[in-house]
Every structure is written in C-alpha cells, then in structure tokens.
Amino acid sequence: MTQGLRAQESTLADLLCNGIEMAMPPYQRSYSWEISEAQALLSDLHDASESGESHFIGAIVLVREASGRFLIVDGQQRLTTLTILLSVLRDTETDQARKDEIHAMIADDGDDTTGPTWRISLNHIDGPYLREAIQTRGAALRKDVEPNDSESQRRMTRNLENFIKTVRNMSPEAQRELAETIKNRILLVKVVVEDWDGGYNVFRVLNTRGKAPNTHDIIKTDLLENAHLTPEEANAYSREWSEHESRLSGSGFDDLLNQISTLYARKTRKGASEFRKAVINRSIGGTREFLSKELPAYVDAYVTISTGKGNFGNLTPQVTECLNHLRLIDHQLWRAPALKFLVNHNGSPEIALSFFRSLERFAYGAMMAITEQRSRPRRYQKIADNADNPRVLLSDSGPLALSREERREISNRLRSRFGAFAQRRAIALRMNAEIAGGEALGPDNGATVEHVLPKNMPEESPWRNAWPNQSVHRDLVDTIGNFALLSQTTNQKADNLSFEEKKSLYFANGKPEYALTSDIEDKVAWTPDVTRSRTEHLSKIMENAWQLNQAMLDL
C-alpha cells in the first residue's frame, strides 16, 4: 500500500503548473458545491489575503495514468470551485500580463494543432460546459453559455455569478492580492498513487475515518448480515464488493445500486433494508445469486454505458457509435433500460444494435419533444419494464416506438432553437456523424459548437448590416443551421469575426476540422435565408437518420 504512493506539501501554483492535466474518472459524481460552500472558501481566502497568511485546503489525491495525465480521486469540488474563481479573477483583470499569469493556472493555450490543455476536466456532461462557459478566456463574464437541466451545471453557474458579484465589489488591488493568495498561499498535500486501487484506498482513509459509511457500505453490511452466510462466504463476497467499489468509485457504485433498486421495484424508499426488500426479495436466487451473478453483470453493464466500450461481436463499432451518441444527451434516464438490456440480452449483436439504435432515437426525441416532467420518466420506465423482452421492446407498437405526433414534434424541434448548451452540443456532435465524411464523436471529444452568426453583435460589427432585425437574429442564432464544429482554439479565435474572416479561419488548412462545418465553404454570405436553408437541410438529414417517417427503425 505504501509502495507507489508519494505525498508532498504544495502550493496551488505547484499543482496547476505548466503541462499538468487532471481529469475526473468517468464514474465520479458531478459538481456538488452550493453557494454556501463556495462562499465559505472565498471568505477564507479573502481573510488569508488580508492577513498575508496561508490557507490549507487539505489533500488532493491523484492517480497517474500511463499518458502522464492524472485522475482526480479526491479534490474535484475544491479544484473546480477554485477554477471558477480563477476564471472570474482572470476576466476581471485589466493587465494582460497578470491575466495571462492567472490563465496559466487554468490552461495551457497550446497552438493551432494541439489546442488548450486544461488543468481540470470534468465528466463528459459537465466538462464541455465548464470549458466553454467558464475556463475559456473571457467566457466567465460573457455568460452566453446556458446551463442545461444538469443541476451540477446550475451549481457552477450560481457560484460563478456569486463570485462575479463579490469580486466586482473589490478594488483592483484587492482582486490582485486575492489572485496572489490563491496562487502562492493556498497550501495542500498532493498525494500521487500509481494505480486506481491505491488511490481509492487513500481516498477512503481520508474521507471515511470517523464519518458515516457510504450508502453502498450500509447496503453491503445489511445484505451480508441477513443472508445467513458462512464467515468464509461473507469474506469472499465482501472482497468482491470492494473490487466493484474500486472499479466504479464510491459515487458510481451508489448510482448503480440506486439504478438496480429502481429496476427491481419502481418506488422504493431509501435505506439498506429497503434495497434488500426491493432487490433480494425479487431475485430468483436470493442474496447469493445476486452477489455472485447479477451484481457483477450490472457492474460490467455500468462500465459499458459509462465509457461507451463493450463487446458486441462483429457489430461492436456500430453499437459503440450508438452508445457514444447516447452519452452526449443531457439526461441520463436512458441508462436504466440500457443496464437492464445489457444484463438480460442473449448476446446477439444484431438485437443489441437494433436496441441501441432505437434507444438512441428515442432518447434524442425525448430530449427534444417529450419535455413534460412526468411523461419522460414514465416512458423510460416502460422501456425498462420490457428491456428483457426484445420481441415486445422492438415491435412497431413497443415502448421504443415513437407516435406519429411525436415524430412530427421532433421534426419541428429540429427546426427551432437549441438554447440550452448541452442540447446544442449533443445535436451538433450527433449531426457530424451523418454528414458525408463525418464520424461519430463521443462526449469526451474536444469539439466545440461555434455560432457562425455571433450570439452577441457589437454595435460596430459588420454582422449588423446583414442582420439588422434583432428578432430575426434571436430566432435563428441558436438553430442548427447556424452551428459549426471547431476545436476550442479555433473557436476562441473566431468569436465575433466577420463571416469572411471566419471562413478563412475555418478552412485555414484547406479542409474543416469537423465535417459539420464543411458546407459553409461554398457560402458567399451568411444571411437569414442561408441560415434557414441550412437548418432545413440538416433537419432532413437527421429525419432520415432517425427514420422519422417510420414507427420503428430498420436494422
């Protein structure tokens, strides 16, 4: 346990230095700090700034990957909050040298080929939002990227707005002293472990001693104590449970157990005994069967839907493509039926492909057209109820089928605005797979959505000549016809350039970075008519991809 572990006292500047890249493991929970917690940290830093003292923020536990990147086992909330605060201080700073100094703790800008290296990257849902709404130069004050239904993104936005308000009430000298304090007087213990198991063990030592056990620990104890196991059996199952926990992380394991509970019994109360009643009492073989066969199968399935990686025989690339499309979506209700299907399906690659193609179409349709608060979960519950019965599930009248009215509504939504950031990104990356020469892009891809027509047009902007009507601008700026896909570096450069300048930038290397951008090359000007025409063209491409003229998809 001690081998391969290194701990050292560091400043935040030492941790967020040139070349360092840290990311969240795929199963870790999302950003969870509320305003009270973020404000408490800011108050402590403000006190340290005024007194000239240091402020200790505890241990940051990292696992070193072979690539040199680090996975954050413990420290996400603190590092994300500090990144938000640094972004505000950077964007309120007027001196360019100081601005660059602060930004260096957020990212290495890189060059035209490599793009930025972000010090902190969150999960595939919240990471792109953090990049485009906060980490990118100038983004923190522009506030032109809207959070989606993700509560974690809303928390980031609330803390961002609170930080902006607080920092703007400070004098420039106080702002600079605060930035200096964050850089050089935040102290921490940097713990680097060479493998995930060791990192998670350190996390548990730091976070569970003297504290209440996690949900999965309570459930494990309840299951083992009530299963009438021999001591040898209990020890063996306990070791396997720990392996699952290490593989998924604590929060991922908690999420999986919650999903399992929901699948076994629609309405269950929280608590270990309730989990046992909901799951074990409905499991054919009782606790032994659940622990030895069902739970490991669910863990494997959870890894597949979380990473997009699985084995589906000769159709693995096609199914993986569907999974990556699903992982782009701004809600996760699709995960429960996907879990149940993977655990119960008979191994047929053809059936797996048919299921995930249909689930992908349904999930995007639900994102766009089934928005009533109760309707969407009920529809997914019906899919989950039949996830072990492909004959019913994939029939023309099955729960995955879309009604004529729903297909019509999806077509209409494709032609309307995508104001929420996550929906905008999901549909843009999804479209890229259907464009000639395009490819399926997973949620971890660095592609960003560029508005060809800028969302904000300065008074002197040449865009105002072609777009004098503000209502037309508002109606069309967030439609799919106005979207391009660019790397972060190119997107930052494009910003409010004229259309001619943007085109030169998009095609500087002769071909676009992403297929979705390719048809912009033949446009002479970017006008309302061009945007409407392109929206219609892209809508028809997606209608064909999802076969919206049919109740169910053909394999």
Beta bridge partners of 485: 449
Is residue 370's pLDDT more than 90? no
Burial class (CB in 10 A: 0-12, 13-18, 19+), 348: middle
pLDDT band at 421 (very low <50, low <70, confident <90, very high): confident
The closest of 200, 190, 246, 216 to 73, measured between CA atoms, is: 200
CB contact at 8 A, 341 and 308: no
The closest of 412, 418, 413, 470 to 449, measured between CA atoms, is: 418
The closest of 262, 266, 400 to 339, measured between CA atoms, is: 262
Match 């997107």 to its residue by tokens.
491
For 498, the token pair is: 């004229």
Is residue 408's pLDDT more than 90? yes
Q: What is the mean pLDDT of the chain?
A: 88
pLDDT score at 210: 45
Mean pLDDT of 81-100: 96
Segment (H or E) for 7: strand 5-11
What's the Cα-to-Cα distance from 539 to each of 316, 357, 416, 480, rounded to whole Å?
A: 28, 18, 10, 8
pLDDT digits (tens, 9 = 90+) for 481-539: 999 999 988 988 888 899 999 999 999 999 999 999 999 999 999 999 999 999 999 99
Tell me the C-alpha distance between 20 and 530, whole Å. Answer: 43
First-to-last alpha carbon distance for the chain, in angstroms, is: 50
Match 């983004």 to its residue by tokens.
139
Kindly state the percentage of the chain with pLDDT values over 90.
57
pLDDT score at 540: 97
pLDDT band at 214 (very low <50, low <70, confident <90, very high): low
Q: Which residues contact 377 (CB under 8 A, 6 or more apart)?
A: 333
Segments making up each domain of the chain, as ranges: 5-198, 212-306, 308-401, 421-545
For 525, the token pair is: 């000007």
* DSSP category for residue 524: S
pTM (predicted TM-score): 0.78
User: What residue type is assigned to position 351 of the chain?
Assistant: I
Mean pLDDT of 222-245: 83
pLDDT score at 96: 95
**Where is average pLDDT lowest: 390-394, 531-535, 540-544?**
390-394
Pairing status of strand 70-74 against strand 22-23 = parallel
Q: 191: helix, coil or strand?
A: strand
How crowded is residue 398: how many other Cβ atoms within 10 Å of its Cβ? 18
pLDDT band at 211 (very low <50, low <70, confident <90, very high): very low
Tell me the C-alpha distance between 482 and 504, whole Å. Answer: 17
Tell me the C-alpha distance between 274 and 207, whole Å. Answer: 26
Tell me the C-alpha distance between 93 and 147, whole Å. Answer: 25
Segment (H or E) for 186: strand 186-193
For 209, the token pair is: 């001693």
pLDDT band at 197 (very low <50, low <70, confident <90, very high): low
What are the DSSP calls for 62-103, one per residue? EEE-TTS-EEEEE-HHHHHHHHHHHHHHHHH---HHHHHHHH
Tell me the C-alpha distance between 424 and 427, whole Å. Answer: 5
What's the Cα-to-Cα distance from 422 to each of 171, 246, 451, rounded to whole Å?
A: 35, 30, 14
Mean pLDDT of 93-112: 90
pLDDT score at 252: 85
Tell me the C-alpha distance between 158 and 555, whole Å. Answer: 44
Segment (H or E) for 349: helix 349-369
Kindly state the percentage of the chain with pLDDT values over 70.
91
Q: 23: helix, coil or strand?
A: strand
User: What residue type is assigned to position 550 of the chain?
Assistant: Q
pLDDT band at 29 (very low <50, low <70, confident <90, very high): low
For 541, the token pair is: 């491409």
Q: What are phi and psi of 276, to 5 degrees?
A: -60, -45
Q: What are phi and psi of 495, to 5 degrees?
A: 40, -110
Q: Where are the beta strands (DSSP E) in 447-496?
A: 448-451, 483-486
The closest of 381, 226, 201 to 291, measured between CA atoms, is: 226
CB contact at 8 A, 392 and 386: yes
Is residue 1's pLDDT more than 50? no
Angle subtended by helix axes 196-208 and 250-264, to nearest 10: 90
Angle subtended by helix axes 335-344 and 250-264, to nearest 10: 80
Long-range contacts of 176-180 (CB under 8 A, 24+ apart): 176/93, 176/98, 177/49, 177/50, 178/45, 178/46, 178/49, 178/89, 179/86, 179/89, 179/93, 179/98, 179/102, 180/49
Tell me the C-alpha distance between 231 and 238, whole Å. Answer: 10
In the sheet that holds 70-74, the strands lie side by side as 5-11, 186-193, 55-64, 70-74, 22-23, 120-121
Q: What angle do CA 315, 320, 321 make, to 5 degrees?
A: 105
